[in-house]
Structure 1
Amino acid sequence: MAEQHPLTFDELMALARASASVARACSCAIDTYREWTRVPAGFPQAQMRPAGTLVADPYADPTYAEYHPGGTGYWSPDAPIAPRWFPTNRCTVQQCAVCGRAALTYVEAGGYYVEPRIRALDPRLLVDAPLTE
C-alpha cells in the first residue's frame, strides 16, 4: 500500500466543505453516515480513492482519549471531528470518485474482531482542538 499524504487541518476542512456541497445521490451513501458506523457489506469500495491520512506518525501510538466538550459521545452524530483525538487520529480520508463526497475511515480492533468503520466528513463538526492530556 502506498504511503498517504498527511492532511493539514485546512486541507481537511476544504475536503469537508467540498463534500458537504455535493447534492446528488450516489451509491456510496456517504452522506448518510453521520455518526460512526460499520462499513456496510455492500459499500462500493471500488469507487473510493484515498484523499489522505490523519495519522500523524505511523510509528507512534496516538491517544485513545476522545474529544467531547459538549457532552456528546463516540456514537453521536453531533460528536466533534477533532483530528488529534480518537478515533479521528487513526483515520484515513476516502473520497468517492463518482460524487466527490469524503469520509473518515479506520479499523476498530476489539478483543475478538476487527470492524472497518466510516463517518461522513462534516465541516460543521470539524474542530482543530489541541491535545490537553
Structure 2
Amino acid sequence: MSLIDFSTLSALAATSASITQPCSCCTVPLDAWQRLPTSLELDRFEEVGTLVADAYDEPSFKEYHPHGTRDDSPDAPIAPRYYPANRSQVARCLNCGRYYLRYNEAGGYFTELRIRALRPELLVDAA
C-alpha cells in the first residue's frame, strides 16, 4: 500500500467534502474518532493508501492537540505524523466516494477498528 503525502491527503479530503449525495457511510456522524459503527459494511470500503510512514517502525503515540481537544473531539486536528492518524489507512466508500481514516486500536485484551471522516478544514501538516 502506498504512502499518502500531505498534499494528496488534502486533495482527497477536499474531494470527500464536495460529495453531497446521501449514503449509508454518513448516516452516523464520523466527525471524531470512534468505534466502527455496526451500520457500516466493511466490504463497501476500499483502502487507497496509508499514513503509516514505515511499516517496520513503531509509530509514535504522541498526539497533536494545541487547542486542548482530544482524539474523540469532533474539532480535533488531523495531523498525519501524530497518533492516531499516523497509524491509519485511508479508505474510500465504494458507494459515494467519501474518504475516511481507519486504524486498529489495540490495547490490553482487545482490538477495535476505529474510523473518522477525512475533513479538509481539520488537516494540519504539523512537524
Distance 1:67 1:9 in 2: 16
Q: Does 1:68 align with 2:73?
A: no
Please, which of 112, 115, 119 is the counterpart of residue 116 of structure 2?
A: 119
Amino acid at match of 1:96: C
Q: Secondary structure at the match of 1:13?
A: helix
Q: Does 1:40 align with 2:37?
A: yes
> TM-score if structure 2 supplies the norm length?
0.96
Name the Cα RMSD after superposition. Answer: 1.2
Q: Match of 1:101?
A: 98
Q: Match of 1:13?
A: 10
> TM-score if structure 1 supplies the norm length?
0.92
Amino acid at match of 1:104: L
- Runs of 4+ aligned structure 1 residues displaced above 4 Å come to none
Distance 1:37 1:25 in 2: 21
The 8 Å contact of residues 30 and 120 in structure 1, kept in 2 or not, is answered as no
Q: Secondary structure at the match of 2:121?
A: coil
Distance 1:46 1:109 in 2: 21
Q: Secondary structure at the match of 1:10?
A: helix
Please, which of 51, 54, 62 is the counterpart of residue 54 of structure 1?
A: 51
The 8 Å contact of residues 30 and 101 in structure 1, kept in 2 or not, is answered as no
- CA 1:17–1:104: 2 relative to 1, 3 Å: same
Q: Match of 2:86?
A: 89
Amino acid at match of 2:31: R
